[in-house]
Amino acid sequence: MIKVAPSLLSADFNDLAGTVKALENAGADYLHVDVMDGRFVPNITFGPVVFKYIRKMTTCLLDVHLMILEPEKYIPDWIEIGANIVSVHVESTVHLDRALSLVRHLGAKPSVVVNPATPIEAVFPVLSIVDQVLVMSVNPGFGGQRFIPYTLDKIRSLRQEIDRRQLEVDIQIDGGVTEMNAKSLLEAGVNVLVAGSAIFQSHNMAATIKALKSPL
Ligand code: DX5
Ligand code: ZN
């Protein structure tokens, strides 16, 4: 199934509750929450305090993208306060298996992330213990950046490997996703599209989510 996960990074924080409700009504499958620590990436965003409010506002699945160093230190807290899917960057820890297994053990869905320049083969050893692979198609840190085209080849190799091993693993893409490139992404094997600016800059969020799911 094709899913769309709007990234709250580009949301209107003046009326976060209204935005969250509007996204739910517009057909969002997950809400994507970008957690940045100013060390792993050159930006700082939400912490648990804001997240707790988001959790209270919605029953939608919350997809937490951790862009932080020492993720294993904070994983228990994020799951405790309601993260449903937790994405951990390959580049952020030397104990990737431990971090992903911890997510599973604490009852959330483990997802592994790779930066654009990290070879996709880095996730192959952990494919059997995750529910999702997130392929970054921009360098993490900011919304509104341009899609990096060479990441499409990584998606194709990943799709091949998942199918060859007959695994049930979602492929999520994050960064520069638009109605224009959605078709090529889905054709390459993606089934979960994260979109920030494409959704928040549109005048009709429901129509944009629909168009992302079934691009012309
Ligand atoms: C970037 C974040 C993305 C970002 C996507 O570091 O991980 O989730 O919000 O925003 P757009 O869709 O605008 O590229
Ligand atoms: Zn993200």
CATH number at residue 130: 3.20.20.70
Q: Which DSSP category does 145 fall into? A: P
CA dihedral 35, 41, 42, 48 (to 10 degrees): 20
Looking at the structure of the chain, the number of domains it has is 1
Number of Cβ within 10 Å of residue 117's Cβ equals 12
Q: How high is the pLDDT of residue 216?
A: 84
Q: Is the CB of 195 within 6 Å of ligand 1?
A: yes
**Ligand 2 centroid from CA 141, angstroms:** 8
Query: pLDDT digit string (tens) for 146-161?
Result: 999 999 999 999 999 9
In whole angstroms, give the CA distance from residue 13 to residue 15.
Answer: 5
Q: In terms of residue numbers, what domain contains 133?
A: 3-213
4, 7, 135: residue to mutate for ligand 1 pocket, most atoms within 8 A of CB: 7
Query: pLDDT digit string (tens) for 83-122?
Result: 999 999 999 999 999 999 999 999 999 999 999 999 999 9
